[in-house]
């Protein structure tokens, strides 16, 4: 299967963590999203133009990070969406929370800061900061009692939280939240996460600067 991605993209990192946790082989294909020609070419594969997307050997297209992980769960262990129906619902809920309110907000801060000050949208920045603070409050409480987002076992929501926290470290530091910091240390010590971050590092340094990858 062919995996269309970019190493700097948090949603792609989320899926790559799942690939490496499961040790599933895939053919990686970097999409240079900054290059208009490559972008147009990629739209022939996935008209929405978003990465990640997976194309199976029988040509079925599977876009969307959570849906790709759900597909991978059907073909390889360990399960990242596990447990009974209620537990699986909770995993999907947290995965969405991390995507929509943590990851999207951290990305907003990164992209807004890349703009000249006069062009920044203060309302968007304030909303992003509010959502990050709210998520940190929720996470600090959760991780006081459990090592991973849905209990004792690493799952899909943790795949989503990892890239969000990787980028948040500098844009919205969580070092004053001791339980989130300990959670980050647990995530960062996983071989799957180390591999994804090592592969991303040269791109992160080149695009976002030396400090972003530190
Ligand atoms: N909901 C999608 C989000 C994917 C997404 O936003 N990908 C970004 C990179 S992190 C992208 O392709 N951006 C290019 C664009 O928006 O055109 C998922 O979970 O896969």
> What are the tens digits of pLDDT across the range 21-43?
999 999 999 999 889 999 999 99
Cα 178 to averaged position of ligand 1 atoms, centre (Å): 30
Cα 50 to averaged position of ligand 1 atoms, centre (Å): 4
At 58, give phi and psi (nearest 5°). Answer: -95, 15
Which residues does a 6 A CB cutoff place in the pocket of ligand 1?
A: 9-11, 33, 49-52, 64-66, 99
State whether 31 and 103 are in the same domain: no
Cα 163 to averaged position of ligand 1 atoms, centre (Å): 13
User: Is the Cβ–Cβ distance between 99 and 66 less than 8 Å?
Assistant: yes
Which of 51, 62, 66 is the best mutation target for the ligand 1 pocket, counting ligand atoms within 8 Å of the beta carbon and taking the most? 51
Average pLDDT over residues 149-177: 96
Q: Is the peptide bond before 78 cis (omega within 30 degrees of 0)?
A: yes
For the chain, what is the domain count? 2
Cα 11 to averaged position of ligand 1 atoms, centre (Å): 7
Which of 42, 47, 50 is the best mutation target for the ligand 1 pocket, counting ligand atoms within 8 Å of the beta carbon and taking the most? 50
Q: Quote the domain boundaries for residue 65.
A: 2-75
pLDDT at 207: 84
**Helix ranges (DSSP H) in 104-177:** 104-114, 122-142, 156-171
User: Is the Cβ–Cβ distance between 80 and 69 less than 8 Å?
Assistant: yes
Nearest atom within ligand 1 for CA of residue 66: 19
pLDDT at 209: 79
> What are the tens digits of pLDDT across the range 56-104?
999 999 999 999 999 999 999 999 999 999 999 999 999 999 999 999 9
Is the residue at 178 inside a domain?
yes
User: Is the Cβ–Cβ distance between 68 and 54 less than 8 Å?
Assistant: yes
CATH number, domain of 105, equals 1.20.1050.10
State whether 28 and 89 are in the same domain: no
Strands (E), the chain: 2-5, 27-30, 53-55, 61-63
Nearest atom within ligand 1 for CA of residue 8: 10
Cα 111 to averaged position of ligand 1 atoms, centre (Å): 14
Cα 126 to averaged position of ligand 1 atoms, centre (Å): 22
State whether 195 and 121 are in the same domain: yes
Neighbours of 71 (CB within 10 A): 18
State whether 120 and 161 are in the same domain: yes
User: Is the Cβ–Cβ distance between 49 and 29 less than 8 Å?
Assistant: no
Q: Does residue 172 register a pLDDT over 80?
A: yes
The domain boundary residue, chosen from 75, 97, 126: 75
pLDDT at 212: 73
What is the Cα–Cα distance from 155 to 84, expressed in whole angstroms? 14
pLDDT at 195: 98
The domain boundary residue, chosen from 32, 48, 75: 75
Q: Is the peptide bond before 87 cis (omega within 30 degrees of 0)?
A: no
State whether 102 and 124 are in the same domain: yes
State whether 93 and 171 are in the same domain: yes
The domain boundary residue, chosen from 75, 106, 128: 75
**pTM (two decimals):** 0.96
Q: What is the DSSP letter of 129?
A: H
> What are the tens digits of pLDDT across the range 189-205?
999 999 999 999 999 99
* Residue whose CA is at the smallest distance from ligand 1 atom 16: 50
Q: Does residue 213 register a pLDDT over 80?
A: no
* Residue whose CA is at the smallest distance from ligand 1 atom 12: 50
Pairing state between β 53-55 and 61-63: antiparallel
Is the residue at 80 inside a domain?
no
Which is nearest to 167 in space by CA: 4, 13, 6?
A: 13
> What are the tens digits of pLDDT across the range 123-143?
999 999 999 999 999 999 999
């Amino acid at each position: 299967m062919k995996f269309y991605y970019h190493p700097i993209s948090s949603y792609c990192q989320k899926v790559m963590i799942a690939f490496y946790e499961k040790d599933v082989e895939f053919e990686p294909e970097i999409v240079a999203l900054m290059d208009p020609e490559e972008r147009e070419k990629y739209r022939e594969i996935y008209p929405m133009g978003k990465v990640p997307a997976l194309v199976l050997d029988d040509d079925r297209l599977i876009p969307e990070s959570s849906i790709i992980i759900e597909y991978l769960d059907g073909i390889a262990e360990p399960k990242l969406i596990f447990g009974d129906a209620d537990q699986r619902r909770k995993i999907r809920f947290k995965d969405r929370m991390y995507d929509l309110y943590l990851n999207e907000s951290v990305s907003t801060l990164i992209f807004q800061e890349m703009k000249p000050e006069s062009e920044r949208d203060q309302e968007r920045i304030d909303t992003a900061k509010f959502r990050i603070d709210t998520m940190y409050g929720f996470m600090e409480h959760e991780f006081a009692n459990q090592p991973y987002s849905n209990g004792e076992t690493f799952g899909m929501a943790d795949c989503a939280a990892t890239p969000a926290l990787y980028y948040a470290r500098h844009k919205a530091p969580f070092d004053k939240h001791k339980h989130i910091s300990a959670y980050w240390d647990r995530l960062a010590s996983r071989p799957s996460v180390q591999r994804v971050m090592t592969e991303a590092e040269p791109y992160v340094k080149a695009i976002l600067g030396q400090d972003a990858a530190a």
